Each structure stands twice: as structure tokens, then as C-alpha cells.
Structure 1
């Protein structure tokens, strides 16, 4: 078996409605679409990390309406083929840059208590646990039907 190291330039840009068809792997397309509608009012930023094909390999949003002094990171996803390659770190740091550009001092997020991989990433990036609480959100079940999901989450915060 041959092995090689390949370097690929990644670009972080605003996610566009035209990108949604290429984001089916996230499982969030209807919710991303709704978030993009809130972007025009300045309530959110929604980012895409793209390779040379300009297809998103990582996506995530920043909601500015949840906390007065912080941007709320949510719906972050990295394509399974690109996990553990630095895409998530690039996405989080780019979202933090957007929050700083708004003049806000903190980034916050919630991660399901059972999602230890994501929690390790956020801890490595300087996020600290502030509390635990149950959260609810809209999701899709395995058949693609809308459901209300509930989970115990660890809330994390980082000073920018």
C-alpha cells in the first residue's frame, strides 16, 4: 500500500444557499437553510471551509442573538472524510474571528455530554466548561422526518 502526504489549500467563506446541495452529509440542511435566512438581518454568520473544488468540507454558524457579549457557535460539522485533519480547528478559529469583528468578547457553545471528541477539540482550543444543562433543538430522524431532540450538554466559553 502506497502512502503520500498531500497538502490542500482550504478557504473559509460565507456559506451560500447554492452550497446546500453539497451539505447533505451534515444532516442539518433544512436548519442551515433557515439560518441563512437570518444572516441577512445580521443575526448570524454561517461559514464554510472549502477545498479546491469549492465544496464545503466543514460548516458552522455563529448566532449573535443568544448572548449579549458572546457569539454562540452551533451546527458545526466536518465531513467524516476530513475529520482530524485540522478542518474543525480552522472553522472554530474563523468563527472566533467573526465574533471579534463584531466587538464581542466571548465565544460560547454547547456540546452533548456524550460527544467526547468534540469536547476534547474545544478544550484544546481553550474553551472551559461553565455549566451543564439540558438543551433541545430541532433535528431529523433517520428517515429524514423532523423531530425535537433533547440531550444533556456541557456549556463551554472562551474569552477572545
Structure 2
């Protein structure tokens, strides 16, 4: 099968992108993306989109600078399902790590639901190491619109971010 190469760009996600984000999830999930965009406007986070040449987001995620004090937390990572396992998530994580370095921080953290081994394997391949766990919960919306509280345990992973190599 021939390989198709599609150029991707990474840029901040905006409110104008939200109509193209139906793939992200139910209205409750999209509300959290809206809040992340608002927080980016206040400088609390970077919230990025990986986009096709048409400008449509196919992956999103953020870096939160409000906790912990010595690192940034990478969160809300999502890649359009048919494009998963194509390297787009790795591209997004590297872009977020670059943003974290640009803020002068040297560590990144990621939390992953203990029931999601696939993302954890990716993070470990990218150099993140398990540092502990903590309880977590969030609202989850079912297809009928019912919102329930999802409670789980989060595995915490951390990576030391070294300076990017300088070009000769």
C-alpha cells in the first residue's frame, strides 16, 4: 500500500475550532476544552491543536502551569481515533514539552487512568517514569446525556526535560 504523507501544523486551539471538535466527545468534554482555551488566554496553560492542511484539529492537548510548582502537567491529550498510532500524539507531546521548556521549567508530568495501559506505554516510550499514583474523578456524560461521576486511580509519570540541542 502506498504511503500518504500529510503535512501537519501545531498551533494554539481557539474558540473558532470548537465546531470541528465533535470528535472530542460529549458536550461535557467540549466544555472542558472551552475552559482550557479560556485558561490559555489568561496564560495559565498552553492548549495546542495538531491540524491538517485544512486547519481542522485532529489532536489536542495542554500543558498546565498551575501545579505542581516545579513542573507542568500535560493533560487532556486526545487524537482523532482513526489517526491514533500514527505518531500524532508523540508530535503533540514533544510540542508541549517545548512550550514547557520555553517557560523555564525542567520537568513535565502526565497522569493516566490505571485502566488505560496504552497511553501509559506511549508515555514510558517517550521517557516518562512512574512516580506514584493518586485518586481522581471527573464528570462523564453518557450518550443519553446523563452525567455521572467517574472515580479512578491515576498513575503519575514524570520526565526531566533537558535543553533542546542547539543547531550547528
Q: How high is the TM-score relative to the length of structure 1?
A: 0.94
Stretches of 4+ aligned residues off by more than 6 angstroms: none
Partner Cα distance (1:126, 1:33) in 2:
30
Aligned match of 2:142: 141
Aligned match of 1:158: 159
Instruction: State the secondary structure of the residue aligned to 1:57.
Output: strand
Comparing 137-146 with 72-81, which one deviates more in the overlay? 137-146
Aligned match of 1:38: 39
Comparing 69-78 with 139-148, which one deviates more in the overlay? 139-148
Structure 2 gap segments, 5+ residues each:
162-168
Give the root-mean-square deviation of aligned CA atoms.
1.2
Comparing 145-154 with 10-19, which one deviates more in the overlay? 145-154
- Report how many aligned residue pairs link the two structures: 158
Aligned match of 2:106: 105
Partner Cα distance (2:146, 2:103) in 1:
36
Aligned match of 2:21: 23
Partner Cα distance (2:147, 2:39) in 1:
20
Structure 1 gap segments, 5+ residues each:
none
Aligned counterparts, 1:29-68, within 5 A: 29-68=30-69
Q: Deviations over 1:79-131 (max 9, x none)?
A: 01110100000000000011001101111011011111101100000000000
Aligned counterparts, 1:83-122, within 5 A: 83-122=84-123
Structure 1 residue 145, shift from structure 2 partner? 4.0
Structure 1 residue 150, shift from structure 2 partner? 1.3
Aligned match of 1:7: 5
Instruction: State the secondary structure of the residue aligned to 2:55.
Output: coil
Partner Cα distance (1:119, 1:142) in 2:
27
